[in-house]
Structure 1
Amino acid sequence: MARQRSSSVDSNASSSEATDETPLLAPDSDETTAPTPQPVSWASIPRKGQLAAIVFARLAEPLSERSLTSYIFYQLKWFDPTLDASEIAKRAGYMTAVFAAAQCCTSMWWGRAADHPRLGRKRVLLLGLMGSAISALGMGFSTSFHMALCFRFLAGALNGNVGVLRTMVSEIVADKRYRPRAFLLLPMCFNIGVIIGPLISGFLADPFHSISPEEAHGSGLKPASGLQWLVDFPYALPNLFFATVLGSAALMVILGLDETHPQRKHLPDRGRRLGKLLLRRCLGRFRRKGYPDDTSGYAIIPSSDIEVPTVGTEEHASTSPPPEERTETGFRAIVTQNVILIMLQRFLQSLHISAFNSIFFTLLPTPRSDNTQSSLPFRFTGGLGLSSQKVGFANTTIGMVGIPLQLLVYPRLIGRLGAKKSYLIFLPLSILAYCATPYLVLLPDNIGIIWTCLSAVLIVQVLSRTFVNPATVLLVNDCAPSPKLLGTIHGLASSISSAARILGPTVGGTTLGWGLSHNFVGLPLWLLGILAVINWVVLLNIGRITRWLSI
C-alpha cells in the first residue's frame, strides 16, 4: 500500500509539474505529437500548385524582356536606316535605361499597392502581367524610336511583379526550411528566360528577311497570302507570341493562384472557384458523390496541404486592420537601422553585378591590343576581340552554368551553411573574378587558352552570384517589420535594385572607355572589387537580425 501511495504521489507530482511547464497557449496535441519532419528536398516543398502558378508568371516576363536582345539592333535600324552602328548602340542603351528608370520609380509603389487590403497581391500581379502584354504588343507594332521608347517606359512602369512574387512566395511557403529552395525558383526562371527568350525571338523576328526567297516561296510566306502585316511590322510576330504567353500567365493567376494578403486571403474569389470547377470537370470528379462544394482552397495543380476556408471564415473575415496595426504599416515603420543596412547591401550588390555584366560584355568584342606601351601589372589596355556569335555563346554559358548550380549545388550547401554564412563565403568569389577579368586581355591569341581562362572566370562569378542573389532576397524578406509590409519592402528593394542597374552600367561603361583610352583597362573592374568588399563589410553589420541566424 505504501508503495502504491508513493507511486501515486509521484505520478501526480509529475503530472502537476508537466502542467506547470505547459504554456497557456500550447500548440494542439496533433502538432506536439507530429512525426519528425521529412528531409528538405525539391519533392517535399509544400503547395507546389501555388508555386507552379508563380513560376509561370515569373517566367513569362524575362522571356519577353530578354527577347529584345536578339533583334533590338535591327529594329532600331529599321526605324531609321541612316543610323550608323554607334548611334544604334547609343539608342539601344536608352531603351534599357528607360525601362530600368521607370521600374525604379514605380516598384515601391506597386509594393505599397500590393500591401493595401483593397487591392492585394493578386490584383497587382494581374495588372503587371497585362501591362507587360500591352507593352510587348506596342513594341512589336512601333514604327519609330520614340514610339518604342514610350512602350519601354510603360513596360518598366507596370513591371513591379518581381517584388510582389517574392512576397507571395514568402507567404505561401511559411516554413523557413523550404524558403531557400522556394526563393530559388524565381532567379532560376530568369536564367531560363535569358536562354530561351532570345532564341525564340531570333527565330520569329522579321521572318521574310531571316529566310531565303526560295524558302519563303516553298513555305507560302508571301505578303499576298494575307501576311502583309509581317512586312509592315516585321518585329510584331515575336511580341505577339510573348504577349500571348503573358496573357496565359495572367489567366493562370486568375484561375489557379490564391490571394495571400492577410486581410484578403479568406475572401471569396470567383476566379479560383471557376478554376476549381474547370479542374473537377477535366478530372471527371465534378459529379463524384459526397464531393464538398466549399473546397475552395485547392490549387489548379492539387496540393494536399492547402487549407480550405469555410463560408464562416469568409463572412467573418476582417476587412480593416485594428488601429494598432495601422500604425505598423506606415511608411516610417520601414525606416529602421536593419532595413537601411539591408537596402544598402542590396544596392551595392546590384551595382557591382550590373556594372560587371555591362563592362564584361563590352570588353569581349573590343579589339585586342599589342600592349607595346604596357607597364604590368596595372597599365595595359585592349579587349578579347571576340565575334558577336562568341559573345552570344558566352552569354548563354552564364545561364547554362547557373541553372545546374542553382538546382544541385545551392540547395545542399545552403542547408549546411545557412543563407547568411553562404553569402559571406561566396561573395569574395566575385571579388576574385573582378580582379582577374582584366588580365584576360593579356592572354596569347590562342582560342583554347582564351576559352579555358574565360570559362574559369565565368564559373567563379556565376558561382558567387548563384549564392548571393537568393540570399539577398531572403535577407530582404526577413527584414520586414510587419507581415503587412512585405510588399512594400520587396517593392523598395526592387526600386533600389533598378536604380543600381541604371547607375552601374552607365558609370561602368564611362570608366571603361576612359581606361581603354588611357592604358588602364582594369580600373573599372578593380573598382568593382572595392565595391564588393564594401558590400561584404556592410553584410557583417547585419548580424543583429536574429531571425537570419536561425535560417
Structure 2
Amino acid sequence: MKESGLKQDTLLDTAGAHPSQHDDNNYHDPDSALPLLLTPKETESISWTDLPNKSQLLILSLCRFSDSLSNLFLLPYLFSLVRSAVSPSSTPSLAAGNDDIVTYYTSISTTALVSTYSGILVAGFPLTQLLASFLPWRKHGERLPIIWSLAISAVASLAFGLSRSFWALSFWRMVMGLASGNEGMLRSMAGKFAGREKKCRDKAYHILSMASNLGMVAGLAMGGLLAEPVKAFPGLFGTKGALNWNGSEEGVRWMVEYPFALPSVVNTMLIGVVAAVAAGWLRETTPEQDQAEDGTGYLPQRSYILLSNTSTILSFHRTEKPTPISSILSALTTRTLPPLMSSFLLTLHTSAFTFILPLHISTPSSPYSPLLSNSFHSLVPTLFRFTGGLSLSPLVISLYLSLFGLLGLLFRGFIYPRWQNRLSTVGLFELSLAIFPFVYLVTPYLSLFPWGHQDTTEGCAEIIMKWIALGVVIGGQTLAMTMAVPSAEILLAESASSEEGVQEKVRVVGNMVTSLASVVGPVVGGVVYAKGVREGVVGTAWWFYLAVVAIATAVWCVCFQGRVYEEPVDEEKR
C-alpha cells in the first residue's frame, strides 16, 4: 500500500513532461515509503561499496526498517482486533454459513461499530506523529533521540499487544506514533555519514527508502501470519501443539488469552534488537554537521502507514523544528496551490482506501449471494443495495497485501522510470487519476461472490474468478498509486521557484497538507463505511466517498493544475 503523500524521494531531473530546471536543489526525501528513482547517469558511478561509513548507514537502514514494520503490522487483523475489543461477546466468526437471516443481521451493528472505531484507532497514529513533529528532537543531539524513540516504541508495541480494551489500544497506538519521531534525524544522519558529494547522499537516501519499503511488506506479512496463532498453527500452539508444553486443552494459554499479542511481541523483540545495535554502535554526528548539505535538519518528515502503494498505505509527516508561519505562508502562491490541493485530495482517498480495504475484506460475508443456489430470500442483493464483506482471515489478507506491496515496489523501481520517459510525468499522473474511480466503483461488487459460505455450489471456475477479481482490484490500486505518488511529488516540486529556500518551504507545506489528509481520510472512511453497513448498502463508502473524491481530484487536476505550467516558474512574483 502509499501512500500517497508528498515524500519527495524522486529526483526531479528524471525525464518527464516538465523537466526540472533545478540542479543542486533536487526535491527528494529518503524517508519516503517508496523507492528513490535515480537516473542511470547518477547511479552508474556509485554503489554500496563506494559509500563511506557503510556500517552507520546499515544501522540507520535497520532503524528505518523497524519503524515501517511496526507501523503496518496491524492492518491485516485490524477488524478482528477491534471487534474483540469493542464487542468481546460477539461470535468469533460472524460469516454466515446457513440461511439464518437473524444470526447474520444481528452482527451488522457490531460490524458498523467496529468500522467506526477502527478508523479512530488508525488515525490516532498519524495524529500523534503530526503533534510529535513539533518537538525539539535535536536538542539532545541525534543519536540519543533515535535510541530513546526505538525503546519507547518497543515498550508501547508490547503494551499494545497485551491491551484488551479499545481505549487502551488507542492510547498505546498513539504512544507508538508519538515515539516515531526519529525519521527526520535518520535522514539527516544519513546525509552526513554519506559525505558532501551529492551522488553519495542520494544513494544513501535510496537505501533508506528501500529499507522502508521492505519493512512495510514485512509488516503486512508478519501481522496476518502471527495473529491468532492457535487457530493459524494448531500443530505448534494448539491442543496437541509442539509448543503447548503445559498441555492446555485450548492451546498455549497466553496465546489463547491474548490472541493478537504475538505480532506485537515479535515486533517488540525486533525493535529491541535494533535499539541495542544503535546504542552500541551508532555514532553521534559532529556539531559541525548539524545541518546536512540539503537542509534536512529543518524538514518535516513522514512515516507511511500506507499499504505498499495499496498501499499504500497510511503515511504521516512530522517536523523536527517548526517552520515560522510567515515562512510557510510565503510558499502559498498561485502556482503551488493547485498541486497542493491535488496532493490533499489524492492523499484523502488513497489513505482511506488503505484502511477501508482490509476492513471490507475482513467484514463477514452475507448469507445471500446471487451466485449461490440458496439465494431465494427476499433480501437477495440488487444492483446497488447489498451488504457483507469477504470474510477473509488475517493470514490471507496479509499474503495478498504484502504480495501486491512487493509488486508495487518492483514496479516503482524498474518500470515507472520507463513509463515516465514515454508518457511524461503529467501523463502518468492523469492516467492514474483515471484508474482510481474505476477501482472504487467495482470494489464493493466483490461482496457478491460467495465468500466463506459452507452451502455453496460454486465450481472451480467461480473460485478462480473471484480471486482474480480481488487481484484486479488490489492490483489496479497498486498500479495507480505507484504512478500517482511520485508524479504528484515531482509536479509539486516543479511548481516551486528555483530561488534558494523556496522548495523547502513548499515541501513543508506539502507535508502538512498530506499529513492532515492522512488523518482525516481513515476517520471519515470508517464513519461512512459503518453508515453503509447499517443501511444495507456496503458500497456507500466506495461510491459516495472514495469515488467522489477521486473524481474530484481528477477534475481539479485537469481543469486547474495544468495551468501551473503555462508560465515559467521564475517569472512568478512571490
What TM-score, normalized to structure 1? 0.62
Is the contact made by 1:440 and 1:453 (CA closer than 8 Å) also made in structure 2?
Answer: yes
Paired residue for 1:451? 467
Per-residue CA distance 1:488-534 (angstroms, 9 max, x = gap): 55762563243233344235414644774499796335324313414
- The yes-or-no answer on 1:388 pairing with 2:404 is no
Tell me, in whole angstroms, the C-alpha distance in 1 between the residues paired with 2:286 and 2:114. Answer: 38
Number of aligned residue pairs: give it: 444
Alignment of 1:159-178 (within 5 A): 159-161=180-182, 174-175=198-199
- The yes-or-no answer on 1:334 pairing with 2:331 is no
Deviation, structure 1 residue 44: 3.7
User: What residue identity is the alignment partner of 1:498?
Assistant: S
Deviation, structure 1 residue 333: 0.8
Rg larger for: 1
1 or 2, which has the higher helix percentage?
1
Q: 2:266 pairs with 235, 238, 241, which one?
A: 241
Distance 1:495 1:100, change over 3 A: farther
User: What residue identity is the alignment partner of 2:519?
Assistant: A
Paired residue for 1:140? 161
Tell me, in whole angstroms, the C-alpha distance in 2 between the residues paired with 1:71 and 1:521. Answer: 20
User: What residue identity is the alignment partner of 1:190?
Assistant: M
Tell me, in whole angstroms, the C-alpha distance in 2 between the residues paired with 1:339 and 1:260. Answer: 36
Q: 2:224 pairs with 180, 198, 215, which one?
A: 198
User: What residue identity is the alignment partner of 1:506?
Assistant: G
Paired residue for 1:462? 478
Paired residue for 1:351? 348
Distance 1:384 1:109, change over 3 A: closer
Per-residue CA distance 1:451-472 (angstroms, 9 max, x = gap): 3333233322211112223444
Tell me, in whole angstroms, the C-alpha distance in 1 between the residues paired with 2:422 and 2:336. Answer: 26
Q: 2:132 pairs with 110, 117, 130, which one?
A: 110
Tell me, in whole angstroms, the C-alpha distance in 1 between the residues paired with 2:133 and 2:336. Answer: 16
Paired residue for 2:303? none
Deviation, structure 1 residue 366: 4.0
- The yes-or-no answer on 1:406 pairing with 2:428 is no
Tell me, in whole angstroms, the C-alpha distance in 2 between the residues paired with 1:418 and 1:181. Answer: 22
Tell me, in whole angstroms, the C-alpha distance in 2 between the residues paired with 1:95 and 1:441. Answer: 22
Tell me, in whole angstroms, the C-alpha distance in 2 between the residues paired with 1:108 and 1:380. Answer: 38
User: What residue identity is the alignment partner of 1:431?
Assistant: P
Gaps of 5+ in 1: 1-35, 267-325
Paired residue for 2:440? 434
Aligned-pair identity in percent equals: 21
Paired residue for 1:506? 526
Q: Which has the higher contact order (CA 8 A, sep 6+)?
A: 2
Is the contact made by 2:345 and 2:553 (CA closer than 8 Å) also made in structure 1?
Answer: yes
User: What residue identity is the alignment partner of 2:344?
Assistant: F
Paired residue for 1:63? 69
Greater CA drift, 97-106 or 152-161: 97-106
User: What residue identity is the alignment partner of 1:531?
Assistant: A
Per-residue CA distance 1:167-189 (angstroms, 9 max, x = gap): 77788694597699567523453
Is the contact made by 2:163 and 2:169 (CA closer than 8 Å) also made in structure 1?
Answer: yes
Deviation, structure 1 residue 133: 1.3
Tell me, in whole angstroms, the C-alpha distance in 2 between the residues paired with 1:110 and 1:59. Answer: 20
User: What residue identity is the alignment partner of 1:505?
Assistant: G
User: What residue identity is the alignment partner of 1:349?
Assistant: L
Is the contact made by 1:355 and 1:505 (CA closer than 8 Å) also made in structure 2?
Answer: yes
Distance 1:71 1:434, change over 3 A: closer
Deviation, structure 1 residue 409: 1.9
SS across alignment from 2:139 = coil
User: What residue identity is the alignment partner of 1:133?
Assistant: A
Is the contact made by 2:57 and 2:204 (CA closer than 8 Å) also made in structure 1?
Answer: no
Tell me, in whole angstroms, the C-alpha distance in 1 between the residues paired with 2:160 and 2:407. Answer: 31
Tell me, in whole angstroms, the C-alpha distance in 2 between the residues paired with 1:487 and 1:494. Answer: 11
Tell me, in whole angstroms, the C-alpha distance in 2 between the residues paired with 1:212 and 1:193. Answer: 24
SS across alignment from 1:351 = helix
Paired residue for 2:84? 77
SS across alignment from 2:180 = coil
Tell me, in whole angstroms, the C-alpha distance in 1 between the residues paired with 2:127 and 2:399. Answer: 33
User: What residue identity is the alignment partner of 2:341?
Assistant: L
Is the contact made by 1:434 and 1:528 (CA closer than 8 Å) also made in structure 2?
Answer: no
Deviation, structure 1 residue 245: 1.4
Tell me, in whole angstroms, the C-alpha distance in 2 between the residues paired with 1:105 and 1:469. Answer: 21
What TM-score, normalized to structure 2? 0.60
- The yes-or-no answer on 1:220 pairing with 2:260 is no
User: What residue identity is the alignment partner of 2:274?
Assistant: A
Distance 1:545 1:140, change over 3 A: farther
